[in-house]
Amino acid sequence: MTEQQYPRLSGEWMTPRRRFLSALYGGRVDKVPAMTLSSVITLEAMEIADAEFPEAHLDAEKMARLAATAHENLGLDTVMPVFHSQLEADALDASTWWGTKDNWPAVDDHVLTDPEDFKVPSDYLERRSFKAALGAIRLLRKRYPDVGIVGKVYGAWSVGFHMVGIENFLMDTILDPDKIRRYLEVLLPASMMSAHAQLEAGADAIMWCDHANRELVSPDMYRDFLLEMHQQIQAEVGGPSILHCCGETTDRIDYFAEAGWDCFHFESQVDPVKAKEIAGDRMSLFGNINNPTILFSGNYEDCYEACMTVLNAGVQGVAPEGSVPLGTKMEVLAALADSARDYSNAHRPDGRFVVHDPPEAGGDG
Amino acid sequence: MVQLSGIANETIRAEIEEFLERPEEIERNVELFSRASPAMQDIAAALIEGDNETVDRLTVAALADGVHALEIMDDGLIAGMGIVGIKFREGYVFVPEVLVSARAMKAGMAHIEPILAASGVEPIGTVIMGTVQGDLHDIGKNLCIMMLRGGGFTVIDLGVNTSPDEFLAAVKDSEARLIGMSALLTTTMPNMARTVEAFKDAGLREQVRFMVGGAPVTPEFGEEVGSDGYGKDALACVALAKQLALEVRR
């Protein structure tokens, strides 16, 4: 037998993009990915990239430069340029306040009172929010062929909050459920077009945000209004799918898995061990480092320790639970990548692939 | 001891039996509804069911029958909303159900408030409420406002996206001493700290009490930003406001 002619695959041998996609599908990885799924943009990052809010929300070049700091400066395996949540709503004529350097954009007026009045505009994907986001994804794909690019879509339920107003929307789930079903039906194509366009522009996966969390609605409401629609999305989205739902979601993770999502990005209210137990092998889990206490108010060590807790639970990737407060320090966020590296180095028995400890054994961090 | 059977309204009896678990809450509600007239129990039951039209009709009828506005508010509207609040806290109902009941409460309060205002009933205190800067979410804040008003407070609602300066101006204009700040986004929560800081800078911090709340807000975070208390939900908000109102009166 001849001497091996090629370098043996060991350590961190996968590209970040390959690692991210493999983890998303629950596959083999050389290192557990540390990611941005929601925004990790901070005031510091804006200085580094010379690209600030609110201009960066509507300027492809600035958006791309700013998004790239997640990989360049934080060492994360992904970038995610759609920082805000207004992509679809703004293009659907909801009135948008684009915020300031240190404040996030938001919808400031609701325009829809009857689902029959709704129509996706013919130039929907050419409107300013899409022009910037799709342009940024194209630039990032060109500049970072080996880094995972996450696209972000607000689903029909959450776009409904923006278009109809959350109070009216939620009240009608009880007073006029058929109206809500009709809203979801007419709004879904707008979300689907957004997903397709981002995938075509070069996104590797779509994070689909529909906020049906326990702080708002019952798990039965998810089942009755969203489960079937989310199953339909899997067949039509055309790329890997990550569901994001804020807040406490333990009592509906089973439904999320049943809906067929490839992965669920969960928040810190959910115990990662419990989430893993429910999801099993049906759906990957990315999460769930707490924003206010750990990332914003904590230090590097707090973040590192929180990441290790999540990694020891056996989730497939570590990431902040949601968009981080803009005043978060990058030195704290640096613990995301460091912890994933250290955990993986300690859990790579053959030198090639990470193997998590069995749940009952716990982890050694 | 007052018995559940002393309550005439079947819906109220069933609600207490099925959804109330804490002995002190069962006792308090059985006592409250046993002494409330059947007409007040009917208002409370309609409110729990979110039937705004019935609440409106029964409130008008009760006033026409000479029932005092305060009695309708306490024994009908607030008593009913108290059950809804407990069910929400315990996870039996969620925001949509609470919103529908709140709509029913509003229908009744529309008749009650002008009468109370004209009769010079003194509020327990005045609370300035606002969602912090950068945050346009107001469901939680609105639920708290509705419960605070029902609990006898006057509320100045600054709405959403409220800057520290707007909170400051409202305190100067009204001489209110209680401030409630709400945030739904982890990205906007830091603006609670900025608001508290603005009061320190203006030399007004010691004169006011801050309450914080919102889905991602925790008691620890409330402490960290220098607030005086955290309310997990609308019921807790009212209890906290009552406690802090006593402090600022001293």
- pLDDT values of chain B reduced to their tens digit, one per residue, 250 residues: 678 989 999 999 999 999 999 999 999 999 999 999 999 999 999 999 999 999 999 999 999 999 999 999 999 999 999 999 899 989 999 989 999 998 999 999 999 989 988 888 777 889 999 999 887 777 788 888 878 887 778 899 998 889 999 999 999 999 899 999 999 887 888 899 999 999 999 999 999 999 999 988 889 889 999 999 999 888 889 899 999 998 887 5
User: What DSSP state is assigned to residue A96?
Assistant: E
How distant is the Cα of A71 from the closest Cα of chain B, in angstroms? 21
At A148, is the secondary structure helix, strand, or coil? Answer: strand
Contact state of A106 with B50 under an 8 Å Cβ cutoff: no
Inter-chain contact A292–B218, Cβ cutoff 8 Å?
A: yes
User: How close does chain A come to B7, measured CA to CA in Å?
Assistant: 28
DSSP 8-state secondary structure symbol assigned to residue A95: E
Residues in chain A: 365
Q: What domains, with CATH codes, occur in chain B?
A: 4-118 (1.10.1240.10), 126-249 (3.40.50.280)
**What is the domain partition of chain A in residue ranges?**
16-348
A6 versus B15: the higher-pLDDT residue is B15
Q: At A108, which helix (H) or strand (E)? A: strand A106-109
Chain A contact probe: residue of B131, B186, B212 with most A CBs at under 10 A: B186
The average pLDDT across A300-326 equals 96
Is the backbone of residue A260 left (phi > 0), alpha (psi -120 to 50) or beta? left
CA distance B21 to B90: 9
| Min Cα–Cα distance to chain A from B215, Å | 7
Query: What is the SS3 assignment for A153?
Result: strand
3-state secondary structure string across chain B: CCCHHHCCCHHHHHHHHHHCCCHHHHHHHHHHHHHCCHHHHHHHHHHHCCCHHHHHHHHHHHHHCCCCHHHHHHHHHHHHHHHHHHHHHCCCCCHHHHHHHHHHHHHHHHHHHHHHHHCCCCCCCEEEEEEECCCCCCHHHHHHHHHHHHCCCEEEECCCCECHHHHHHHHHHHCCCEEEEECCCCCCCHHHHHHHHHHHHCCCHHHCEEEEECCCCCHHHHHHCCCCEECCCHHHHHHHHHHHHHHHHC
Residue A239 has pLDDT above 80, yes or no: yes
What kind of architecture, by CATH, is found in domain A16-348? Alpha-Beta Barrel (3.20)
| Interchain pair A293, B220: CB under 8 A | yes
CB pair distance less than 8 Å for B96 and A107: no
> Closest Cα partner for A105 from B131, B142, B136?
B136
ipTM comes to 0.90
Strands B126-131 and A78-79: unpaired
Question: What's the pLDDT band for A365 if we cut at 50, 70, 90?
Answer: very low
Judged against a pLDDT cut of 60, whether residue A361 lies above it is answered with: no
Q: B187–A104: do the CB atoms touch at under 8 Å?
A: yes
Classify the C-alpha dihedral B197-B199-B202-B203 as positive or negative. Answer: negative
- Give the global pTM: 0.90
Q: Check B221 against A292: CB less than 8 A apart.
A: yes
What secondary structure does DSSP assign to A282-336, as a single string? SSEEEEEE-IIIIIITS-HHHHHHHHHHHHHTT-SEEEESSPPPTT--HHHHHHH
Looking at the complex, report in whole angstroms how far the Cα of residue A204 sits from the nearest Cα belonging to chain B.
Answer: 26
Which are the contacts of A212, defined by CB distance < 8 A and separation ≥ 6?
A157, A221, A222, A225, A226, A245, A252
Nearest residue in B to A41, CA atom:
B187
Share of chain A above pLDDT 90, in %: 87
Tell me the mean pLDDT in the region A75-85: 97
Q: Are B139 and A167 in contact (CB under 8 A)?
A: yes
Strands A95-97 and A106-109: antiparallel
Residues in contact with A1: Cβ distance below 8 Å, sequence separation at least 6, in sequence order: none
Nearest residue on chain A to B191, alpha-carbon basis? A103
B203 touching A (Cβ < 8 Å):
no
Are the beta carbons of B77 and B109 closer than 8 angstroms?
Answer: yes
Predicted confidence (pLDDT) at residue A32 exceeds the cutoff of 50: yes
- Nearest Cα of chain A lies from the Cα of B209 at a distance, in angstroms, of 22
Of A167, A217, A322, the CB nearest to B94: A217
Quote the pLDDT of residue A364: 44
A interface with B, Cβ–Cβ < 8 A, is 97, 99-100, 102-104, 106-108, 166-167, 170-171, 173-175, 214-218, 221, 246-247, 291-293, 296-297, 321-327
Q: Give the one of B142, B161, B186 whose C-beta lies nearest to A325's C-beta.
A: B186
